[in-house]
Chains A and B, each alone.
Chain A
């Protein structure tokens, strides 16, 4: 083996060793942890553990994962720190994009829900309005029915009142006509109908048919007229004893009262009284005068109060 100068050869060997050492250093040892890459992993894991991000931004998460894998591989392959940090940065930003996309889609879902809510609120309001209108209409109809029945009742009442007034008027008219027929006289005590002696037999209290007719007519009108009270008063002339005259006048008055009651006039509205020979209306000295004094007077009073006594 021919000798060569030592020094250059040794130098060459050193260079070779250094180069090899560098190569070994690049491939052999596990590279130190990279903070930027750790950040990117942490961000990715946080996003991946959020179901909303996983579901709503699946595509963006996949891109983030690809970027993260590239950064991991670069670090494992011994790429420069700047290269690893660059790829880690990109991965981290892609995670941020995934988060934002998920946030946007969530907001869009809420907006869609709000639109549906608005339609529902409007529909409910319209339904409520329609129900209310229907209820109002029903109430108005019920009110109208009530009002109509009230009006009908009022009309019936008015008709009844009119008919009653007409009845009263008709009765009063009939009574007025009858009283004229019977030659009734207006006195302070009321209308007085005088039934003459000729309607009674001498010393008898029973009314003759002529007197009976007058009393019947009067009774028919009085029985339905609760506003009138009747007092029947009997009178005689001065012939005979006073006791006889009192008794006869009382019997004649009672006879007329019975006839009125027989016509339906309530007994409590008719009273009878014998006045004897008192209150003559003519002189007892002549036959004509005495005849006028023998009489029965029927006093009609409008008021509900008692018949004014003589």
Chain B
């Protein structure tokens, strides 16, 4: 009788745990909002040109996250939203790096042109 009681208790706890896993549906709204903001940031930084792959991945995952949320799969929605966020952040930092690199390149080219012009001028004297 004791062993049976024990066994019943184990089964009950396991069932509750399983139910808890399924029943609890954490809110993914905050993560989806953060992901959306990160995506906007990436677009603003010009990621469409310089990091299109990362940007598309972020957008797809954000869409998936919204679908999972709407389907009541909070955990999956959160995970997808968080991946979309880092994808968007990577796209943004790639775009910003490319912009800085272009700027440095332009400045150095301008300096070479300036030095050339000055040399030509002083040689023609």
Contact = CB atoms under 8 A, between A and B. Distances in A.
B114 A118 contact: yes
Interface in A1-57: 4, 9, 12-13, 15-16, 19
A96 B101 contact: no
B7 A100 contact: no
Nearest to A100: B93
B37 interface: no
B100 A114 contact: no
Contacts of B108: 110, 114, 117
Nearest to A57: B93
A143 to B, nearest CB: 17
- Counting chain A residues whose Cβ lies within 8 A of the other chain, the interface size class is 35 or more
Nearest to B80: A86
A12 B111 contact: no
Given A97-B90, A121-B114, A15 B100 contact: no
Contact of B97 (A94, A103, A115): A103
Contact of B3 (A13, A96, A121, A128): A13
Nearest to A110: B104
A132 interface: yes
A94 B103 CA distance: 25
Interface residues of B, number: 33
A83 B103 CA distance: 41
B101 to A, nearest CB: 4
Interface string A110-132: 11001101100110110011001
Contacts of A108: 100, 104
A122 B94 CA distance: 33
A198 interface: no
B122 A97 contact: no
Contacts of A13: 3, 7
Contacts of A191: none
Contact of B93 (A86, A97, A128): A97
Interface of B: 1, 3-4, 6-7, 10-11, 14, 79, 82-83, 86-87, 89-90, 93-94, 96-97, 99-101, 103-104, 107-108, 110-111, 114-115, 118, 122, 125
19 contacts: A12-B4, A16-B7, A19-B10, A82-B79, A86-B79, A90-B86, A93-B86, A93-B90, A96-B93, A100-B90, A100-B94, A100-B97, A107-B97, A108-B104, A111-B104, A114-B108, A118-B107, A121-B111, A128-B118
